[in-house]
Structures are given as structure tokens and as C-alpha cells.
Amino acid sequence: MPTAKQAVDLRYAMSLPPAEAIAYFESKGYAVGFHWYDIEAQAHAKAFTVAGVLKLDILHDIRQALNEALEKGDTYADFERRLIPILEQKGWLGKGLVADSDTGELHGKRLTPRRLDTIFQTNLQSSYMAGRYKQQMATVEERPYWERVGIMDNRIRPSHAALNGFIARYDDPIWQTIYPPDGYRCRCRVRTRSAEDVERLGLMVQSSEGRLVDVEQEYGVPGETRTVTGFKNPKDGQVYTPDPGFGFNPGQVSYQPELDKYPPTAASQYITGSLTGADFRLGYQEAVNATQPNPAQRYPIAARPQPSAPNTDAFYVDAPTIKALAQQDITQTDYLFVQQIIESPQKMRLGEDGVQYYATQHEKRWWVVEVKDNQLQRVTTQSDF
């Protein structure tokens, strides 16, 4: 995608009207963190995230402006002109420190035009690529080979340039890691190829087999790293790793903020909002309708205080479990009750196999929620517990 400095016409650059991109963007929820590394990489896909922005009303303003930009094909200058007066009025572009109303902590970061530009480009590129991914998946029988394409100018990063022209099948695991954008201000894209293209042009189709490696990557917390997937690029022999906070396919999965970093009350409120929001509603339906739900797709369902720490134990459900429980008549709305049972059980016990049991009586029946390793296993009703 061209940069804002070139006064791009997004209607042209993104081949608007991109119905898939607009629908995808509107399906996004909110994920608020004190820093970008508080947000799990996959949250970029369906949860609108802005590093350093704390207030929901500011998130709403920025999201509204981005939504209008998608629909109207605005340039970055239009986006900036619409949003900056609002941010100035609310004090987010003023001088001095900003106090966190909950903790009283002072923060010196403020939004600058360059930060706004990064927000603009990253979110629109992710939304657009999610729409492109759906289009590409619809034609995999005719065009099963995917080629990564970079803009080969003097601004492209060497590591991204080294991936230019890399071709693999659409179902190669590599695309769960390097499907663009896989870094801030990444302008790369994916081009689909047919078998005829490959033969006619003499293209080399490669595989990631034996080339995916675990990499310990720093992500912003001093002295701490995360294990992420790297790709040993045969072109230059270097291990390529997406930027911290990326390394996900924007069309496939959406994860949530790392709730263990938040106080239990705040995490619980976030989960309640998530369970009643559009993302979980759509995810529930997708899981129920899928032949083989993606186990990487999961949603938070409850939060409890850690026994010996001020942080939170978060509990999750994955897509295959959603489908299995739906076949036992556990509906989308039942998950609010599941949250209540885990967070405020009338009875609880720990099994020898490590399963945690949380139970609450409702209409003379005990609803029992079984959790292991913070993952929901089963929900049953029984006469006694």
C-alpha cells in the first residue's frame, strides 16, 4: 500500500468498494492495552487495537474515522483532518502528561501525526488483507499457489525484500506466519497463481517443511521474550520473524488481550462485553457450522484472581469445544452463565486428573463446568454435586 505522504486515494489503492474489508472492519470489537505488547498478535484481526490509546471514547473516535475512510475511499490527509480536532478537544494531542483515571499513573506518550499514520495504515491494511484472504480462499481450486509480493523500492526492509517472489501452496503452514501485513507499515501483499502460471513462467513452488523454527523474540517487557515461529528463508539463509505483535493471518483467527495482565474485575468486565459482542456471536456461528473448527480460534469465558498474585487466571473455550457443546444444546447465551459459574461458584473441587470443577445450582439442577489447563472441557447438568 502506498504511504500517506503520497496522498493516496484509498479507493484506488484498495480497489474499493471492498465489501469484505468493510464488513470485516465493522465486525471488530475493542481491545484496550497500556502498550502494544499487551495485545496478543491475533487480536489485530478482529479487535481494533491502538497502541498507547487508553480511553474507549478515543478508540471510538478513531474507529469511526477509519470506518468512514474505508467507505469513502479517503486519503490519509482526510482522515487526519477529521480526527485531529477531536483529539485536540479531548486533550490527546495537548502537551504534558496524561493521568490514568484508574491508577493515577502519569503517562507521557501522546498521539503524533506519525503515530496516527501508523494506526491508519496498519488497521486499514489488516482489514483489507482479511478481505483479500477470503477472496483468495474462494478460488484455491483454480489458483492454489500463493506468491508473496513486496514493493521493491528503497523503503522496503531487506528481510521483506528477501521474501519477494516466495511461492507456496495456499495450505502451507507458512501462510499462518507470513501472510501480510506482518509488520508495522508493511506494504507487501499476496498474489494467487494457477498451475498454468507456474508452468508457463517457470516459477518455483517451495515448502516450509523443515524450515519453521521456534524463535525467542523480545516483545517490549524488559528481560522477557516470547516463543514465536520463524522461517528459515532458503534465499538468504536468514531466519525471518514477523514484527512483535504480528505473526498471524488476519483472515483466520482472532485472539484477545492477555487478560492475565489485568486486574480480575477489569478482565471479567472485558469478557462479559466480549461474550455479548459481535465477534463472539460470529465466532460461535462459524464454529458450529464448520466441518472442522480451527482449534487455534479461542475466546475468553471467565476470569478469576490468581491464588497467590494480584493478577488474573483467564479461562478460554476453543472453536472445536464450542461445536461439541452446541451439539449438547449449550447455546451462545449460555456462556454468560458459564462465566458466572466459574467466577462465583457455589461449589468447586479439584479432580485427581487436574480437572477443575465449578458448580452452581439452577432450577434444582447442578450446572457443572469442567476446566483443565484453563481450557473449557465440558458443561453438564446433574441432580447432585
Shared domain for 299 and 180, answered yes or no, is: no
Shared domain for 236 and 271, answered yes or no, is: no
Is 354 a domain residue? Answer: yes
Burial of 364 (0-12, 13-18, 19+ CB in 10 A): exposed
Distance CA 347, CA 292 (A): 34
Is 144 a domain residue? Answer: yes
Model pLDDT, residue 76: 72
Shared domain for 200 and 173, answered yes or no, is: yes
Shared domain for 267 and 235, answered yes or no, is: no
Assign residue 352 a region (left: φ > 0; alpha: ψ between -120 and 50; beta: otherwise). alpha
Shared domain for 123 and 263, answered yes or no, is: no
Q: How confident is the model at residue 57 (pLDDT cuts 50, 70, 90)?
A: very low
Shared domain for 173 and 50, answered yes or no, is: yes
Q: Which amino acid is at 200?
A: R
pTM, two decimals, is 0.51
Is 339 a domain residue? Answer: yes
Joined together, the cell numbers standing for residue 296 give 487455534
Is 251 a domain residue? Answer: no
- Percent of the chain at pLDDT > 90 equals 37
Q: What is the total count of domains within the chain?
A: 2
For residue 365, the SS3 value is strand
Is 290 a domain residue? Answer: yes
Q: Domain span at residue 318?
A: 259-382
Flag whether pLDDT at 21 surpasses 60.
Answer: no
Shared domain for 236 and 288, answered yes or no, is: no
Joined together, the cell numbers standing for residue 371 give 476446566
* CA angle in degrees (0–180, nearest 5) for 26-28-33: 140
Count CA atoms closer than 13 A to 223's CA, side-chain side.
0
Shared domain for 369 and 304, answered yes or no, is: yes
Is 248 a domain residue? Answer: no
Flag whether pLDDT at 41 surpasses 50.
Answer: no
Shared domain for 223 and 291, answered yes or no, is: no
Task: Mark 175-211 as b/e (b = at least 16 C-beta within 10 Å).
Answer: bbbbbbbbbbebbbbbebbeeeebeeeeeebbebeee
Distance CA 368, CA 384 (A): 10
Distance CA 295, CA 315 (A): 15
Lowest mean pLDDT: which of 86-100, 198-212, 216-230? 86-100
Quick check: bond before 18 cis, omega within 30?
no
Q: Note the Cα 254 to chain centre separation in Å.
A: 4
Is 252 a domain residue? Answer: no
Q: Which residues contact 164 (CB under 8 A, 6 or more apart)?
A: 148, 149, 150, 152, 156, 188
Shared domain for 176 and 220, answered yes or no, is: yes
pLDDT tens track for 239-291: 999 887 676 666 665 534 567 766 787 678 778 877 887 678 878 988 999 89
